[in-house]
Amino acid sequence: MCSGRIDLEFVLRAFSNGQDGVFIGGCRLNECNYVTHGNYHALSMALLCRKIMEHIGLNPERLNIQFMSAGDGILFAEHMNDFGKKVKSLGPLGISEGIDKDVLKSKIEEITRLIPYIKIAKREKLGSRLTNKADYDGFFTSNEIDSLLRDVPSYYIDPDKCQACMICAKKCPAEAIEGSKNRIHVIDQDKCIKCGTCFEACPPRFGAVTRMVGKPVPPPIPEEKRTIARKSKEK
Amino acid sequence: MERAEGEAGNFKVTLIRKPRYIKEDKCTGCGTCLEYCPVQYPDPFNQEISKNKAVHIYFAQAIPLISYIDESCLYLKEKKCRICEAVCQNDAVNLEQQPEKIEINVAAILLSPGYEPFDPRVKGDYGYGKFANVVTSLDFERLLCATGPYEGEILRASDKRHPHKVAWIQCVGSRRVTPGDNSYCSAVCCTYTQKQVILAKEHDAAAECTIFHNDVRSYGKDFELYYQRTERLPGIRFIRSYTSVVREVPETQNLVVRYSTPDEGVKEEEFDMVVLSVGLNPPADAMALADRFGIELNSHGFCQADSSNLMETTRRGIFVSGAFQGPMDIPESVFSASGAGAQCGEFLDYRRGKLTRERVYPPEKDVSSEEPRIGVFVCHCGANIGRIVDVPGTVEYALTLPHVVYAQEQLFSCATNSAKEITDMIKEKGLNRVVVAACSPRTLEPLFRDTLREAGINQYFYEMANIREHDSWVHAKEPEEATRKARDIIRMSVARCALLEPLQEIDLPVNKAGLVVGGGIAGMTCALSIAGQGHEVYLVEKDKDLGGMARRIHTTLEGLDVQAYLRDLVRRVYQHPLIHVYTDAIIMEATGYVGNFVTLVKSGRGVTEIKHGATVIAIGADEYQPTEYLYGEDDRVLTLLELEERIARGEEKIVNSHCLVMIQCVGCRNEDRNYCSRVCCSQAVKNALKLKELHPEMDIYILFRDMRTYGLREDYYRDASNKDVKFIRWEPEDKPQVEATTAEGRPVLRVTVTDPILGEKLAIDADVLALAAAVIPPAANREIAQLFKVSLGPDNFFKEAHVKLRPVEFSAEGVYLCGTAHYPKHIPEAINQAYGAAGRALTLLSHDIVTVSGSVCEVDDKKCMGCGACIEACTYGAIEFREIRQGKKAVVNPVICKGDGLCNAKCPTGAIRLKHFTDEEIMRQIDSVVPEEDMPQQFDRAVGDV
């Protein structure tokens, strides 16, 4: 596997487990072991992750990424020693940043839940190649991440419009839509990964799925009211 | 090598094997002996700048990675010491080893003795060997390297301080006819110097670097960009000047360099360090080598070869590759190596596979219904691990881990008896998964996977815990910490191992035929070489006739009669029973994958479906049609190719003209085409020499930017200069001007150019103007790239898989590249590369099957939302959309997938998974970084709640 295989989730999981620092080592940039230059993907992911850490109040320097070859043992040792010192100076995770442990854990869990959404929203940037070190800092900006995490959409099925056709439910990759034929569909907000597949899938003539930003999702329609009486046919 | 008797197809070679005083089959490369060896002597690998032990491993990447004992050994000299013998736990030292005579019977011989760096001590120029801070480029190369004498620090020999101001002097030993120097250009120094400058700047961003140069010869692929990148770095000066190191400053041991510039005349400047960019000499023992093999050398001492096949020596069946052909860079060296290999193969193909024996493994046990039963084997690696890590304690610990049912220690897990032990234990204890805690998986994972197969267990049920490179070697001074870390590493491996799935590798049959696209010299040479080893070849050419661009070339610089050569080549192609030629052909469709391609070709023969295992792209290049210098407006303005055709026809207007001007770099090395066309300087010299031969009184001017007659071609440049061909250099901001006018009643093309030496405008009244029109990418490149799913580089030539290491392959497996479609190149170079591509294709075609790894990606349709993020991430083109009832779903072709897993990290829904490195497996490993019972405590400590 390539360093570009490292998922945002792996890094967050380590912090969630209470690790004080995470180090990612990849091949030297432009000296790809494959032909894919996936180490640039790892770099983009790390830069994104650092901004997210900043957003939730963690010191981004707890995540370090370096590129080196198998022949760079001494360089590797230098980086590890530097990073070890750095992490020690930063102190234990959370306490140094003044975040309560439960708050931190729930914040990380919340971000982890948003990974699918983040991957979709930042897809282009995550796969790009930053060739100039000077560009690292501004690649993802704090504003960008703040708005990304502020404007998280929710998807809601309007019970008045839903025709219970099962199209969205069948397509949902997270199996987050409850319902069956003639039973109004409801999105389980805990399972929903905010990918928007249902929004795309709902036939335009129904337009039952709405994308909501900054508003609370209305409570699901009670179980007993979900059965559709096919009015048009009955009348 | 003592001697080679016999003839092509049947040589008897006598070898003397020098003693290494180490039993190769016993040494594991653990390095204990060199720790104890008391003798230090100057390390030849580090240019004798630092010391090494009498017993040591030559360098960190040596193959085999085992020790040898040098003549400086106390025992070998004085029969004392023998410490190494005592400390070796595997009994691998044998100080009584004697030279051994070996006779081998071979069909062909391949010589790759390389080159010898020019030794500036010989002439005593530049104070090398006298002034401490004058180094050669090879010394500097070692200084730059992390495994070098100062562990990657650039230090001056005199005071071990970092040099701040460094000067490089180019062409040391090259391009000079003075005795002791080489007349030829060493071909690689311009670019390696640029690399050293870039690396020096990475070491010290404030470093001031000055390069004193003659022509800058950035003629290789992407080299022009590299040159520009170097030039643009801050604190870099490129100064075109002859130079000398005049003295050392006694107080500082700095060096005073004398040079001259057009503006300031002769000056002297002080530098902290001077690097001599030394050239390439023939191998030191080339004469003796030639003698023993009965081959001839050329006047420079490199191997004598015919320019139609640089890999053939003067003795049949003996081939040559690499810099013994003459100075060359890594890609050319790799072409020729692969190409010479292919030619050796032609003598050997009839007995290919005769000595192979098939391995038979026991049937694989189905353990899918069993609980994980993990066995952990902890290796001492002699003293390497055992001296630092508490191995017995680690074994005890391993037994406490979930699913571990058995654990033991081993002295060397990689020894044959240990592998047997693992196999036995798997059977005896009913293990279904194995962790070996030893060294890097890089070297030994294949061995242990094989061990599992021997025991009837799926080979992917194996995990390696690296407690040597990652642990005992780096924490030698903290044994307790090292032991704790070993436990951590093993715990993580065990956790992952419990989740591993059995994976199957797929064996695909290989269709034995090859398809060659493009019937120029490269394509035909490649087709003949593949067919020469018994494979059907389909040769597809877009034109009516074979020959390509070579039909317009009449001689090479070295004097090859190209048309006669081409006629012979075409004849051999048509006569070969295994080569099927399709001319006037268009490729309509190309599908399939390595070993199993299907291509639809429409040609004079109708539409043909061709099935083939390998594809070679050899579609050549085109000539740029100039829009500058009155080309197309005035019929006296020609391209170099047109000039050559007219010289060949003996056209009087050309041959009898009084004055002929050539302008170089037309249509390249500019914004539109930021690369050097590589061949034009030599082509200009070739035509100038030809014209001088026909009409010695003709005035010939070559207006150039840098003369890039690299390698042995330099001699022809000098010859032209001696024959009074005038060379005038121009700068890109002050291009030559051309106007059609009359002089003394004669219609002329007046070419005005600034003479850099005189600093004034010079007007030349020419009868004929020839433009060195750029070599441009072939017109069909995009179409062909799309059809065969291969990529183009920034200059729109085809992009090889790796510029140095895989220069004849594409990243798409089973597709190869040669000739000018890759980059402009001379005919002999195209032939080198054509054989090279044939060599790679034959490596594939000679196998009956290709094996596809089990660690590839797969998609869970239910989870796939059809967003295509994975398709974008896959450079191999292994993922496609497929329409099913639930909509668009990604699907992986496991044959093309290389298992890098980029798609996995991009997939928002976790629908695509890289087998053997799944989210679950890696996450479990992350969760085990801290032992389960410690986890809450650690979190509390971290958060500061306790």
Residue A230: what pLDDT?
Answer: 66
pLDDT band at B29 (very low <50, low <70, confident <90, very high): confident
Mean pLDDT, range B39-46, rounded to an integer: 93
Does the distance separating the beta carbons of B886 and A93 come in below 8 Å? no
Residues of chain A in contact with residue B875, where contact means CB-CB under 8 angstroms, are 34-37
CA-based angle B508:B514:B520, to the nearest 5?
Answer: 155
Determine whether the interchain pair A195/B908 forms a contact, defined as Cβ–Cβ distance below 8 Å. yes
User: What pLDDT sits at residue A75?
Assistant: 85
What's the rounded Cα separation, in Å, for the pair A218 and B590? 54
Q: What is the CATH number of domain B855-915?
A: 3.30.70.20
Percent of chain B with pLDDT over 70: 98
User: How far is B753 from B727, CA to CA, in rounded Å?
Assistant: 11
pLDDT tens digit sequence for B239-251: 999 999 999 999 9
Q: Looking at B228-242, B355-369, B713-727, B761-775, which range is the least confident one?
A: B355-369
| Residues in chain B closer than 8 A to A43 (CB atoms) | none
Is a pLDDT exceeding 70 seen at residue B941?
no
Phi, psi of B163 (to 5 degrees): -75, 140
Q: For B94-137, what is the HEC assignment?
A: CCCCCCEEEEEEECCEEECCCCEECCCCCCCHHHECCECCEEEH
Has residue A234 got a pLDDT over 60?
no
Task: Judge whether B435 and B374 are in contact, CB under 8 Å.
Answer: yes
pLDDT mean over B456-468: 96
Chain A positions touching B917 (Cβ under 8 A) are: 1, 5
Domain residue spans of chain A: 3-150, 153-228
For residues A224 and B557, what is the distance between their CA atoms, to the nearest angstrom? Answer: 91
Residue B946, pLDDT > 60, answer: no
pLDDT per residue as tens digits for the range B505-558: 989 999 999 999 999 999 999 999 999 999 999 999 999 999 999 999 999 999
Cα–Cα distance for residue pair B158/B747, rounded to 1 Å: 66
pLDDT for res B934: 62
Do the first three CATH levels of B19-98 and B855-915 match, i.e. the same topology?
Answer: yes
- Paired tokens of B578: 């295994």
Confidence of residue A232 (pLDDT cuts 50, 70, 90): low
Task: Taking residues B411-432, report their average pLDDT.
Answer: 92
User: B802 pLDDT band (50/70/90 cuts)?
Assistant: confident
Is the pLDDT at A233 greater than 80? The verdict is no
A87–chain B Cβ distance below 8 A for any pair: no
Query: Would the CB atoms of B929 and A17 count as touching at under 8 Å?
Result: yes
CA distance linking residue B815 with residue B599, whole number of Å: 13
Q: What residues of chain A lie within 8 A of the CB of B906, using their CB?
A: 41, 119, 123, 126-127
Decide if A119 and B873 are in contact by the 8 Å CB cutoff.
no
Look at residue B681 and give its three-state secondary structure: helix
- Alpha carbons B86 and B93: distance in angstroms, whole number: 9
Check if CATH label 3.40.50 holds for domain B374-499.
yes
B574 DSSP assignment: H
The domain segmentation of chain B, as residue ranges, is 19-98, 118-281, 299-351, 374-499, 514-621+777-849, 624-774, 855-915
pLDDT exceeds cutoff 50 at B482: yes
pLDDT beyond 60 at A140:
yes
pLDDT-derived band at B899 (thresholds 50, 70, 90) equals very high
Structure-token pair, residue A182: 């003639």
Contact A101 B945 (CB under 8 A): yes
A79 CA: distance to closest CA in chain B (Å): 13
Q: What is the CATH number of domain A153-228?
A: 3.30.70.3270
Tell me the chain A residues in contact with residue B929 when contact means C-beta distances shorter than 8 Å: 14, 17, 19
| B514-621+777-849 under CATH 3.40.50.2000, yes or no | no
Contacts of A17 in chain B (CB under 8 A): 926-927, 929-930, 935, 939
Mean pLDDT of the region B711-722: 97
Higher pLDDT, A225 or B519: B519
Q: How confident is the model at residue A131 (pLDDT cuts 50, 70, 90)?
A: confident
**How distant is the Cα of A84 from the closest Cα of chain B, in angstroms?**
14
CB-CB neighbors (< 8 A) of B443 in chain A: none
CB neighbourhood size of B446 (10 A): 11
pLDDT, chain B, mean: 93
Q: Is A199 on the interface with B (CB under 8 A)?
A: no
Question: What's residue B943's pLDDT?
Answer: 43
**Correct CATH for B118-281 of 3.40.50.1110, 3.50.50.60, 3.90.25.10, 3.40.190.10:** 3.50.50.60
> CA B486 to CA B438: how far, in whole Å?
10
**Structure confidence at residue B942 as a pLDDT band (50, 70, 90):** very low
Whole-number Å distance between alpha carbons of B616 and B841: 8
Q: Which of B350, B319, B339, B316 is nearest to B8 (CA)?
A: B316
List the single residue in B with minimal CA-CA distance to A117.
B908
Given a cut of 60, is residue A71 above it in pLDDT? yes
Compute how many other C-beta atoms are within 10 angstroms of the C-beta atom of residue B545. 11
- Average pLDDT on A145-153 reads 94
Mean pLDDT computed over B749-774 = 95
Residues 6+ apart with CB under 8 A from B644: B552, B553, B554, B683, B686, B687
Q: Which residues of B9-26 are buried (b: 16+ CB within 10 A; e: fewer)?
A: eebebeeeeeebbbeeee
pLDDT digits (tens, 9 = 90+) for B77-108: 999 999 999 999 889 999 999 999 999 999 99
Whether residue B945 is predicted with pLDDT greater than 50 in this model: the reply is no
Which of B485, B497, B501, B499 lies closest to B931 in space, CA to CA? B485
Min Cα separation A91/chain B (Å) = 8
Domain B624-774 has CATH 3.50.50.60: yes
- Name the least confident of A101-110, A127-136, A147-156, B699-708: A127-136
Best of B865, B874, B922, B924 to disrupt the A interface (most A CBs within 10 Å) is B865
Q: Nearest by CB to A10, which of B909, B911, B923?
A: B923
Q: What is the mean predicted confidence (pLDDT) over B133-152?
A: 92
Do residue A34 and residue B152 have CB atoms under 8 angstroms apart? Answer: no
Is A30 in the B-facing interface, judged by CB distances under 8 Å?
A: no
The two tokens of residue B223 are 């080299």
Long-range contacts (CB closer than 8 Å, 24 or more residues apart) made by B358-365: B361/B453, B361/B454, B361/B456, B362/B454, B362/B455, B362/B456, B363/B456, B364/B453, B364/B456, B364/B457, B364/B458, B364/B502, B365/B432, B365/B456, B365/B457
Residue B944 has a pLDDT of 41
B866/chain A closest Cα distance in angstroms = 9
The full DSSP string for B325-346 is GSS--HHHHHHHHHHHHHHHHH
Fold of B19-98: Alpha-Beta Plaits (3.30.70)
Q: Which positions in chain A touch B60 (Cβ < 8 Å)?
A: 71
